[in-house]
Amino acid sequence: MDLHNWKELLEHYNYTDATAIFQRIEEKGYIATQEDYDIINMIVLWKINREVKICGETIEYINSIAKTTKSPEEALNNMEVQDCLKEILNSHGIRLPMASAILHFYQPKAFPITHLLQ
């Protein structure tokens, strides 16, 4: 693709609608707030085209699992955890590494993330 043909280049990439980002910035006003961190993360995810779409029922399922599952052993033996993981993986933009990170932050004792030592 010829970079000098910018119209063709722009048509090659399709971003999701950014209206929500613009609205959040306008609604909070142009002053620095804690919310700016979240907005900047939204912009980064939008730019790399990694916006996720997860339904409310799946979020409720994650919270339910996080509330009832307290250890890795429980997580491994609970069929509801497997079902919840399948629901998360059916969400647009979420694959296994992201799903495991989501579960980890909702219940770190049951869903640990190990770090490799260098």
- Bridge partners (DSSP) of residue 53 are 92
**Do 97 and 60 belong to one domain?**
yes
Domain of 86, in residue numbers: 56-106
The total number of structural domains in the chain stands at 2
73-113 tens-digit pLDDT: 999 999 999 999 999 999 988 889 889 989 999 999 999 87
* Contacts of range 82-90, beta carbons closer than 8 Å, 24 or more positions apart: 84/58, 87/57, 87/58, 87/61, 88/54, 88/58, 88/62, 90/58
**Do 78 and 99 belong to one domain?**
yes
**Do 70 and 33 belong to one domain?**
no
**Do 42 and 65 belong to one domain?**
no
18-48 tens-digit pLDDT: 899 999 999 998 888 889 999 988 888 887 8
3-state secondary structure of 30: coil
